[in-house]
Amino acid sequence: MSKILSLPFWEPLSWVDPSLDYGWCWEFINYPELGFPNQIVVVRGGGGAEMYIYDTYSDSGFVWFRNAPWGVSSGAALMNCPELKYLFLLRGNASPDFASLNLTNLLWTTLTSAPWSIGSSNTTSGPIISAVHPCRSIASVPTVTFTDTGGNSRTTNHYIFVMRGTGSADFAIYSIEHNVWGTRAPLPWSVTRGMLIWAPEWNAGKIIAIRTEGTRDWAVYDIATNTWTTYTYGGGVVSYLPASVSSGVYNKGIGGRHLIIFPSRVSDTVGYSGAIDIVNNVFIHGIVPRYYGDASVRWPRHNSLFVVIDGEPYIYHYAGFDRRATFARCLMSHLR
CA gap 177, 108 in Å, rounded: 17
**Any residues with CB less than 8 A from the CB of 301 and at least 6 apart, and which?**
20, 21, 24, 318, 319, 320, 321, 325
- What single string gives the DSSP state of each residue in 96-128? --EEEEETTTTEEEE-PPPSS-BS-SSSS-S-S
CA gap 39, 182 in Å, rounded: 32
Domain count, the chain: 1
How many C-beta neighbours within 10 Å does residue 76 have? 30
**Any residues with CB less than 8 A from the CB of 240 and at least 6 apart, and which?**
2, 233, 276, 281, 283
Residue 149 amino acid letter = T
Residue ranges of E strands in 216-311: 218-222, 227-231, 250-254, 257-265, 271-277, 282-284, 302-309
3-class DSSP assignment, residue 291: helix
The domain in which residue 324 lies consists of 3-335
How far the first Cα of the chain sits from its last, in Å, is 21
- What single string gives the DSSP state of each residue in 31-72? EGGGTEEEEEEEEEETTEEEEEEEETTT----EEEEE-SS--
Strand 282-284 and strand 3-5: pairing? Answer: parallel
What is the 3-state composition of the chain as percent helix, strand, coil, each rounded to the nearest 5? 5, 45, 50
CA gap 154, 95 in Å, rounded: 25
pLDDT in tens, the chain (336 residues): 333 344 556 788 887 666 777 778 889 999 999 999 999 999 988 889 999 999 999 998 889 999 999 999 888 889 888 888 999 999 988 899 999 999 999 999 999 999 999 887 665 556 666 878 765 555 567 889 999 999 999 999 889 999 988 888 999 999 999 999 999 999 999 887 777 776 555 566 788 787 766 666 778 888 999 999 887 644 444 434 444 443 444 444 444 455 565 555 545 444 555 555 555 555 555 554 443 433 444 444 556 777 788 888 787 877 665 445 677 787 766 554
Which 8-state DSSP code applies to residue 285? P
- CATH code, domain with 19: 2.120.10.80
